[in-house]
């Protein structure tokens, strides 16, 4: 995946040409991982372009910033408007959305307080993260030798750039060993999450996913899948999952903004269930894609339509007016 390198990037309220959107090498974030960020998606639906759970993503950005004592002069509505304005300025129909808050250029030392908190929002095209084929066939993964961060080291609930050093170790090990993804355990040896996705298992008709206390990022897709699964009448338990439950599960799947809903067909070369996408995974994938493709009524209010000129594609209640910045 290479960047198309076009369009404009929002930087502290100004739209800057892609090639000019640079920061100084002495910026604090580069040396000390002092950034928090988001990853959201805008989908081209038949009813117009729509961001999926934009409010929840921007709220999480604010809370990640709060954990790291980073203040930025935008409220939730301001953040959402900034994202929508950036999409509109770039005339994107669909895109991946990457807002980031980071400690910028002032001085270098571990103490970040002296450095400004800067922000940017960039957009690009990003297809199926683990490959289109994996969405149907499932992916082959391994349990990583690296654990997720211990709770009193780096806070997993904050989507901080620093956490992704751990994710990169998990991902590099998996790829080097011939797998497409890794599953990390927490420091107690229980299942945590993938390098950039949350995880669900299905066993005897019940759906399980690790709790926040298992060093996971509180994923917005995870929350959506829990809601959709309950809508479909499934029982969902947020519960500690021992490693061996991965091998004995009927179905395992990843969820995340990038991975969407991707089945896992083998773990450590042990076949999961029947070795292909299972019925519960398929039903939840369908329910999720129906929502993001605007093919079912948006009963949970998860879509924010981007372009006012597309309002006529929808009923009056679903206009972009409420989100206009
Ligand atoms: C470590 C990690 N866990 C889980 C997720 C899934 O979170 P979300 O569904 O909010 O994208 C992500 C993706 O951002 C992630 O990086």
Catalytic residue annotation: 159
Q: Are 130 and 180 in contact (CB under 8 A)?
A: yes
Evaluate: CB of 260 within 6 angstroms of ligand 1: no
Whole-prediction pTM: 0.95
**pLDDT tens for the 325 residues of the chain, in order:** 577 777 999 999 999 999 999 999 999 999 999 999 999 999 999 999 999 999 999 999 999 999 999 999 999 999 999 999 999 999 999 999 999 999 999 999 999 999 999 999 999 998 776 777 888 899 999 999 999 999 999 999 999 999 999 999 999 999 999 999 999 999 999 999 999 999 999 999 999 999 999 999 999 999 999 999 999 999 999 999 999 999 999 999 999 999 999 999 999 999 999 999 999 999 999 999 999 999 999 999 999 999 999 988 887 666 674 444 3
Is the shortest distance between the CB of 209 and ligand 1 below 6 Å? no
Nearest CA to ligand 1 atom 5: 197
Helices (H), 117-242: 132-137, 163-176, 220-231
Q: How far is the CA of 98 from the centre of ligand 1 (A)?
A: 13
66's torsion region: left (phi>0), alpha (psi -120 to 50) or beta? alpha
Rounded Cα distance, 252 and 245, in Å: 10
Q: Is 185 in the pocket of ligand 1 (CB under 6 A)?
A: no
Ligand 1, atom 1: closest residue by C-alpha: 196
Side-chain half-sphere of 39: how many Cα atoms within 13 Å?
Answer: 19
Ligand 1 midpoint to CA 106 (Å): 31
Q: Distance of alpha carbon 310 from its chain centroid, rounded?
A: 26
Q: Which atom of ligand 1 is nearest to the CA of 216?
A: 3
User: How many angstroms separate the CA atoms of 35 and 18, rounded?
Assistant: 20
Q: Please give the torsion angle defined by the CA atoms of residues 147, 155, 255 and 251, in that order, rounded to the nearest 10 degrees.
A: 40
- Measured distance CA(307)–CA(50) in Å, rounded: 8
């Amino acid at each position: 995946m290479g960047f198309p390198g076009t369009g404009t990037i929002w930087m502290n309220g100004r739209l800057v040409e892609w090639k000019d959107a640079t920061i100084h090498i002495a910026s604090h974030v580069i040396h000390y991982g002092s950034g928090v960020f988001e990853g959201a998606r805008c989908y081209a639906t038949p009813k117009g372009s729509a961001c999926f759970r934009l409010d929840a993503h921007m709220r999480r950005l604010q809370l990640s910033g709060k954990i790291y004592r980073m203040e930025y002069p935008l409220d939730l509505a301001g953040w959402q408007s900034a994202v929508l304005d950036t999409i509109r300025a770039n005339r994107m129909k669909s895109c991946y959305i990457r807002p980031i808050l980071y400690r910028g250029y002032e001085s270098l030392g571990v103490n970040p307080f002296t450095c400004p908190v800067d922000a940017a929002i960039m957009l690009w095209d990003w297809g199926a993260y683990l490959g289109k084929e994996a969405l149907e066939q499932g992916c082959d993964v391994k349990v990583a030798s690296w654990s997720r961060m211990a709770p009193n080291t780096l806070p997993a609930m904050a989507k901080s750039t620093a956490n992704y050093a751990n994710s990169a170790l998990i991902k590099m090990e998996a790829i080097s060993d011939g797998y497409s993804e890794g599953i990390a355990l927490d420091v107690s040896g229980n299942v945590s999450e993938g390098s950039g996705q949350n995880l669900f298992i299905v066993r005897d008709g019940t759906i399980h996913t690790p709790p926040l206390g298992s060093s996971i990022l509180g994923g917005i897709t995870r929350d959506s899948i829990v809601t959709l699964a309950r809508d479909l009448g499934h029982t969902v338990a947020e519960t500690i999952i021992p490693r061996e439950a991965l091998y004995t599960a009927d179905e395992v799947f990843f969820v995340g903004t990038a991975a969407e809903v991707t089945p896992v067909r083998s773990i450590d070369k042990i076949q999961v269930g029947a070795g292909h996408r299972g019925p519960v995974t398929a039903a939840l994938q369908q329910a999720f894609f129906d929502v993001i493709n605007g093919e079912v009524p948006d009963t949970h209010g998860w879509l924010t339509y981007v372009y006012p000129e597309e309002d006529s594609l929808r009923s009056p209640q679903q206009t972009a007016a409420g989100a206009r910045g």
